Homo-oligomer: A and B are copies of this chain.
Amino acid sequence: MKTIIAASSNAHKIKEIQAIMSKFRMQVVSRDEAGVPAFEIEEDGETFEENSLKKASEIMKITGQITIADDSGLMVDYLGGAPGVYSARFAGEECDDTKNNNKLLTLLKGLSPKEKTAKFVSVITLMFPDGTAIVARGECKGRIIDTPTGENGFGYDPLFVPDGYDKTFAQLSEDEKNAISHRAKALEKLEILLREREGFNEGNC
């Protein structure tokens, strides 16, 4: 079992990452559990890639261990890709999921279902102690509905119906979501890239 430090302090994200990484005999430990002092990493990049790399890099420098970071968000076509990297703070610095969801609904009010296409994006970075990194991007396409529905997940999950489904991410079980989510797809790509990285799998997978 290999230990990986999660750069995220978002318990939901860590849970999803752990659920998938455990298949590869990797144990994900949060930055708090790893003893990293609490501090805010400013996510000021213009892309998910920038933010993901920044988070992995800062935590890896502190711990000296393999670190995994996720930067993710919702891109709504009608809004030219917004909220994108601003997903978590769309309704301002003092916002929460409800405020963010309400703001999104206000902006999309009156549009037809066809006009409300969107995708969730996740960029996962696995950074090694030597500073090299594997970066994998996953996307999940779908659409935004008019009323928050479902109790699972987090963020914009109650408003997002993935293509091929008639339930929101928040109505799907954890296992169902982890089978199709943007984060799952990013982690699948990460696995492929990891297997290509010579030596990493020895005795692990």
A residues with a Cβ closer than 8 A to B are: 46-47, 79-87, 90, 107
Contacts and interface: CB of A to CB of B under 8 A. Distances in A.
A22 to B, nearest CB: 32
Number of copies: 2
A85 B139 CA distance: 19
Contact of A84 (B80, B87, B90, B107): B80
Contacts of A83: 80
A69 B80 CA distance: 22
Contact of A82 (B46, B47, B81): B81
Nearest to A46: B47
A82 B83 CA distance: 8
Contacts of A80: 79, 82-87, 90
Given A80-B90, A81-B86, 11 more contacts: A46-B47, A46-B81, A80-B83, A80-B84, A80-B85, A80-B86, A81-B82, A81-B84, A82-B82, A82-B84, A107-B107
